[in-house]
């Protein structure tokens, strides 16, 4: 289905919306060439959409999994048991291992099920639905707050380098690092964005460029390898990145290539800020060494978008994320404010 009717939640673009006992999900694998909204009504479809990155970005997959848990109750019917819901939770949890927002959202939904287990199916369903919508709304609110905190860090006329896609598409709506760009642009403080194309899935070239065009923010794409030369020319004031999991000591896992940018930033004396909601912080993970790093199918490197780049028989390594050590970060922006090094998130509460 080709459509311009993109999903919206609370009036803003959202990659996923729950309505009439199903999920409307913008298929990000087809962007920017096609704007296709899928209709998901089964947990298996939700798991497939997350695994294949029809929806991606740590907060967005958390929100999607929360709605997936709602579908789980719906699919199981009046006999839905805690045991069945825990099985569904594991199915969704196993789709992508690095982004902690996924587990965080699933655990939150399981807790609601436990609390209402003794009630009628309709009551459980309503409670789960309300919780997923609340979680979704909270994510948007967190993004707006981070936008404000982050924009204050930037100089007037800022020229910013970013990686991957951290916009509305990667979240419940508005964006994290991209939300800072959005806010800074609205307040007249942002001059220009450089967006890394972000091999191999090209989230920068396909998705960030799509959002920047819609928002009318001036930008240029660059190949990932061009970032060092760009920074050496003094063309950039700061680097903004998202995160998929931040350990208790501030080590931050994000899209592959972020660590390289952080090393470059240090060398060139340019600040790198990570922008992520507290749902991305995992106080139970002491340091980056214990963050599980997803390795995806080598085919994504060998034949991006099904176009064979490498000769038949070539092999590839395809880690989806890397870990930037905390000492390379100038700050971590969350919805509670800007955290400066040294970081210590051990006491951050979890529901």
| Dihedral sign, Cα of residue 240, residue 227, residue 165, residue 186 | positive
CA angle 347, 128, 56 (to 5 degrees): 70
Hey, which residues between 327 and 346 contact ligand MRU (CB under 6 A)?
none
**What stretches of 254-328 show up as alpha helix (H) in DSSP?**
258-268, 299-302
Interface region with ligand MRU, contact rule CB under 6 A, candidates 7-15, 85-93, 117-125, 168-176? 168-176
43, 56, 63: which is closest to 134 by C-alpha? 63
Min dist CB 258 to ligand MRU, Å, is: 8
Q: Catalytic pick from 244, 251, 282, 322?
A: 244
Binding mask 94-113 for ligand MRU (x = CB under 6 A): -----x--------------
Q: How far, in Å, CA of 308 to CA of 158, rounded?
A: 38
Interface region with ligand MRU, contact rule CB under 6 A, candidates 42-50, 113-121, 152-160, 170-178? 170-178
Q: How far, in Å, CA of 193 to CA of 3, rounded?
A: 28
> Do the Cβ atoms of 147 and 139 come closer than 8 Å?
no
Q: How far, in Å, CA of 22 to CA of 71, rounded?
A: 7
| Interface pick for ligand MRU out of 166, 183, 330, 334 (rule CB under 6 A) | 166
Hey, which residues between 46 and 65 contact ligand MRU (CB under 6 A)?
56-59
Min dist CB 25 to ligand MRU, Å, is: 14
254 scored as a contact of ligand MRU (CB under 6 A) = yes
197 scored as a contact of ligand MRU (CB under 6 A) = no
> Do the Cβ atoms of 237 and 270 come closer than 8 Å?
yes
Min dist CB 271 to ligand MRU, Å, is: 17
Min dist CB 106 to ligand MRU, Å, is: 16
Nearer to ligand MRU, 197 or 244 (CB): 244
Q: Are strands 190-196 and 158-162 parallel, antiparallel or unpaired?
A: parallel
Q: How far, in Å, CA of 119 to CA of 331, rounded?
A: 45
Nearer to ligand MRU, 56 or 145 (CB): 56
Active-site residue numbers?
244
| Residues engaged in binding ligand MRU (CB under 6 A) | 56-59, 99, 164, 166, 170-171, 176, 203, 242-244, 254-255, 320
């Amino acid at each position: 289905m080709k459509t311009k009717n993109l999903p919206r939640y609370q009036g803003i673009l959202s990659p996923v919306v729950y309505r009439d006992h199903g999920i409307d999900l913008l298929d990000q694998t087809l962007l920017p060439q096609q704007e296709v909204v899928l209709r998901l009504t089964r947990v298996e479809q939700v798991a497939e959409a997350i695994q294949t990155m029809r929806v991606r970005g740590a907060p967005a997959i958390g929100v999607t999994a929360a709605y997936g848990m709602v579908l789980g109750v719906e699919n199981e019917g009046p006999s839905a048991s805690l045991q069945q819901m825990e099985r569904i939770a594991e199915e969704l949890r196993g789709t992508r291992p690095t982004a902690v927002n996924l587990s965080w959202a699933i655990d939150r939904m399981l807790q609601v099920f436990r609390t209402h287990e003794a009630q009628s199916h309709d009551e459980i369903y309503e409670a789960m639905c309300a919780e997923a919508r609340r979680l979704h709304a909270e994510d948007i609110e967190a993004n707006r707050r981070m936008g404000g905190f982050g924009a204050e860090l930037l100089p007037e006329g800022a020229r910013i380098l970013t990686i991957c896609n951290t916009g509305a598409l990667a979240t419940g709506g508005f964006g994290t690092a991209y939300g800072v760009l959005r806010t800074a642009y609205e307040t007249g403080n942002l001059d220009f964005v450089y967006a890394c194309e972000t091999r191999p899935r090209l989230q920068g070239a396909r998705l960030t460029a799509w959002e920047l065009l819609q928002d009318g923010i001036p930008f240029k794409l660059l190949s990932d390898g061009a970032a060092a030369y760009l920074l050496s020319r003094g063309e950039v004031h700061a680097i903004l990145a998202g995160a998929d999991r931040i350990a208790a000591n501030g080590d931050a896992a994000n899209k592959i290539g972020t660590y390289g940018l952080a090393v470059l930033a240090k060398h060139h004396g340019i600040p790198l800020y990570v922008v992520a909601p507290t749902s991305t912080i995992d106080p139970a993970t002491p340091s980056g060494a214990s963050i599980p790093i997803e390795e995806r199918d080598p085919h994504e490197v060998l034949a991006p978008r099904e176009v064979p780049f490498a000769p038949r028989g070539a092999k590839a390594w395809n880690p989806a994320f890397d870990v930037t050590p905390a000492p390379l970060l100038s700050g971590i922006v969350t919805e509670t404010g800007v955290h400066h090094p040294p970081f210590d998130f051990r006491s951050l509460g979890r529901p």
